[in-house]
Amino acid sequence: MGLAERRAAKEFETKRFPQFKKDIDEAAGFEVPVTVQWDTLAKEGESHLYDECWPKVYFEPLIAALKGISFDDMGKEALKAGLKKIEIQNRAGAIYGDRIASFENGTLLLDHQPHTNVDDVRDRTEGIRKLLESKL
């Protein structure tokens, strides 16, 4: 990762991520620890795509999936009891929405290539929601 990528990732982390974090907490109904492995998201030569792609690939589907679960008290209680933290990274090379998420020991892991199938927000949302519903 070069200087341009580090700068763009840091700018996203400091300027955009705080609002996404608030939206995640609001959607879940409680404050959820979120860890992002920024260096794995920051692809060489693609810093111009971060602002457009990262929200659609990771944050919008996550927030929508959490809202899809927490719309009633039962969903809110299940999330609060079962979801301990969220980790976001790009290590497995997943490119399909149904493969973005895994859930183990209270940790929701989102692992997806940051600039692939960007507009498949609905597929990722459904993948995350269905996984959580089956595990909570």
Comparing 27 with 97, which gets the higher pLDDT?
A: 27
pLDDT in the model for residue 39: 95
How many C-alpha atoms does 16 have within 13 Å on its Cβ side? Answer: 18
Give me the chain's average pLDDT, please: 97
Tell me, letter by letter, the H, E, C secondary structure of 10-44.
HHHHHHHHHHHHHHHHHHHCCCCCEEECHHHHCCC
With a CB cutoff of 8 Å and minimum separation 6, the contacts of 119 are: 56
Region 67-96: what's the mean pLDDT?
97
Burial environment of residue 18 by CB neighbours within 10 A (0 to 12, 13 to 18, 19 or more): exposed
CA-closest candidate to residue 119, choices 59, 53, 65: 53
Say whether pLDDT at 114 is over 90: yes
What SS3 state is found at 65?
helix
Region 41-60: what's the mean pLDDT?
96
Does the pTM of the predicted model rise above 0.75? Answer: yes
How big is the CA angle at 111 (ends 129 and 77), to the nearest 5 degrees? 35
Q: Which helix (H) or strand (E) holds 87?
A: strand 85-89
pLDDT tens digits, 2-31: 999 999 999 999 999 999 999 999 999 999
34 φψ region: left (φ > 0), alpha (ψ -120 to 50), beta (else): beta
pLDDT in the model for residue 115: 95
Q: Label residue 82 by pLDDT band (50, 70, 90).
A: very high
Counting residues of the chain whose pLDDT is more than 90, the rounded percentage is 97
Q: What does the alpha-carbon distance between residue 27 and residue 84 come to, in Å, rounded to a whole number?
A: 14
Q: Label residue 1 by pLDDT band (50, 70, 90).
A: confident
